[in-house]
Chains A and B, each alone.
Chain A
Amino acid sequence: MKLFSHTLVLVLLFSLFALPAAILLLVGLAPGWRFPDLWPAQFSFTGIQFLITHQDQIVSSLVSSFLYSVATVLVTLGMCLTPAAAFARNRFAGKRLMEALVLTPALVPPMTFAMGLHVVFIRLSLADTVAGVVLILALFTYPYMFRALVTGFQTLGEEYRVCARNLGAGPVTIFWRVELPLLVPAMIAGGSVVFLVAFSEYFLVFLMGGGTVPSFTGFLMPLLASSNRSLAAILTLIFLLLPILLFFVIDGSLMRSYRKKGMV
């Protein structure tokens, strides 16, 4: 009985969250799949062919999205590292209020500050540049990095730092050799969310990139509404696979480096 209800939960999870991905694969391979067929009448590779003929455009938009998302992760990391340490370790007046305030950019509609900034970005020639896109994405996503790092510093505690200082290490050495390696999991947790949000954001990239900064979402958007569902499905699957691949690579290399240092 218990096993039955557990299986039921898995079936529910599957049909809600995994089935759509499986269906996307079918849609991608069967452009002619129509009502009322429950299973595609025939499969074809026209979607894949389009993929191959337009590979330059697709690859360049993928690479562009990937690069500005990674840059966003690095910028948010730079923005949050020392403030997160200060928040985790110090008590000061107005700390709770300040913490609530710095988290608001992730909560209020991004349009409300991005559209106001647009005019300034145009004046500063930041609009339509990768730098402008990264800046606006970082402004929208840094709260995720900040939360993750504050939690990271809190779990770290003071002991490692005190111990290293007693052994004669200076603040820079403590940070580089002791704290940073221990913070990697927190950085990856925050960085994954920042990466995903940046990678899948359409509007902010459209606004600040103005079409000159290629993005995968910008490439995908017109196709989603078009009649060529097969191609849209294939591109959506690429969207799914790339981050998964990235996380596997990061996870694997992290485990390897931990093993090398004897931390696992």
Chain B
Amino acid sequence: MSLIGSRTAILILKLSPLILPFVVLFCGGVFLTVCQSLGIFTPLPHTGGILAAYNIILSDPSFFASFGFSLGVALTSAAGSVAAGTFLAYRVWQLPKALAGAALMYKIPLILPHIAVAFVVLIFWSQSGILSSLAYHLGLIQSMPDFPNVLYSGWGLGMILAYTLKGTPFAMLLILALLVRFDVRQIQTAAMLGASKRCIFFSIVLPRLAPAMHTSFIILFLYSFGAFDIPYILSESRPGMLSLHVFDLYFKHDLARRPEAMAILTLMFCFAVLFIIAYSKTVTHLENGVRKL
């Protein structure tokens, strides 16, 4: 009994460098966010009921517009990144050894910070940008305003482009890591049995890549849902990402509105956690339905 007890004690001791900061700082941080959203520990004494901030937020239609907008930008860019990343990773994996080294350039956006990728999108896609000049020389447009206003379309296209440009190499990285361990003989066998290229990709390769695709989708989706850097540079005025909304409430309004910022953060946190749980449940459910080799 005491042997088990001491083993558990040693285990807890070994885990503590991780568990302690997790509980104290991470859980504590979330706890304080929730508290402040309820008007506790706020810099100014809180007036109104405990749910006052939530009432203000949830009765404001612009919150739901922002929420939907953030969701749309995050979903589109994450899905785009995973689709492009899967395709490109598969093609890179098929490259002969002599060319594989050159393919390493896909890692460049991984090194660039998000704000720099936003800057690249700005240089390429603004109406006075590179692509606009190219369209002019190709005779597609006669003057600058003819070029579609991609960055300020109201659809968050600039942010979607930036997140996809940054996210695609990330998805490629995770998927290539799986492909490296992939058994080529499975493909050779299928080809010998007469499977088409499309069939090989969709029935043999894709199911093997699913775990990496799911992981990268969750990470990219949640990141673009809640991050601040790219929206700060490429934002359009309305409806705007939730993170910008929080930033404004936190830094640009008086302290009395702090609980509102914290209420939005609490809702974002709850959404993120629910999303992770729901997504992993669905994936396990789907995978259980698929026949395993």
Contact = CB atoms under 8 A, between A and B. Distances in A.
Interface of A: 6, 9-10, 12-14, 16-18, 20-21, 23-24, 27, 34-38, 78-83, 85-87, 90, 92, 98, 101-102, 104-117, 119-120, 135, 138-139, 142, 146, 196, 199-203, 217, 220-221, 224-225, 229, 232-233, 236, 239-240, 243-244
Interface string B130-156: 101110110000001000000000000
Interface of B: 8, 11, 14-19, 21-22, 25-26, 28-36, 41, 43, 88, 91-92, 94-96, 99, 102-103, 105-116, 118-120, 122-124, 127-130, 132-134, 136-137, 144, 165, 168-169, 218-219, 222, 225-229, 232-233, 243, 246, 250, 261-262, 265-266, 268-269, 272-273, 276
A146 B18 contact: yes
Contacts of B169: 17
SS of B interface (majority)? helix
B22 A120 contact: no
Contacts of B95: 6, 9-10
Contact of A86 (B15, B25, B144, B262): B15
B233 A119 contact: no
A224 B120 CA distance: 10
A67 to B, nearest CB: 17
A117 to B, nearest CB: 4
B11 A107 contact: no
B43 A119 contact: yes
B228 A203 contact: yes
Contacts of A110: 226-227
Contacts of A243: 111
B29 A116 contact: yes
**Is the contact region of chain A dominated by helix, strand, or loop, or is it mixed?**
helix
B119 A113 contact: no
A232 B119 CA distance: 8
Nearest to A113: B29
A139 B25 contact: yes
A220 B114 CA distance: 12
Contacts of A233: 119, 123
A239 B137 contact: no
Most buried by A among B14, B103, B226: B14
30 contacts: A6-B95, A9-B88, A13-B106, A16-B165, A17-B106, A20-B123, A23-B123, A23-B124, A35-B133, A36-B132, A81-B17, A82-B17, A83-B15, A90-B11, A106-B219, A107-B272, A108-B222, A108-B272, A109-B226, A109-B272, A112-B266, A113-B29, A120-B29, A135-B25, A139-B25, A146-B18, A201-B113, A202-B115, A202-B228, A220-B116
A39 to B, nearest CB: 9
B111 to A, nearest CB: 5
Contacts, number: 233
A109 B112 contact: no
B243 A240 contact: no
A253 B103 CA distance: 25
A240 B116 CA distance: 9
Contact of B113 (A38, A85, A217): A217
B105 A120 contact: no
B14 A83 contact: yes
Contacts of B226: 108-112
Contacts of B26: 104-105, 113, 139
B112 A239 contact: yes
A51 B227 CA distance: 30
Contact of A82 (B14, B112, B132, B218): B14
Contacts of A236: 112, 116, 119-120
A120 B28 contact: yes
Given A109-B225, A115-B246, A85 B33 contact: no
A81 B16 CA distance: 11
B41 to A, nearest CB: 6
Contacts of A14: 105
A119 B36 contact: yes
A106 B215 CA distance: 12
B200 to A, nearest CB: 15
A185 to B, nearest CB: 14
A107 B18 contact: no
A115 B33 contact: yes
A98 B123 CA distance: 44
Contact of B129 (A12, A35, A85, A239): A35
Given A117-B32, A225-B233, A21 B108 contact: yes
Contacts of B265: 109, 111-112, 115-116
A10 B92 CA distance: 8
Nearest to A229: B123
Of A102, A116, A240, which is in contact with the most chain B CB atoms at under 10 Å from its CB? A116
Contact of B17 (A13, A79, A92, A104): A79
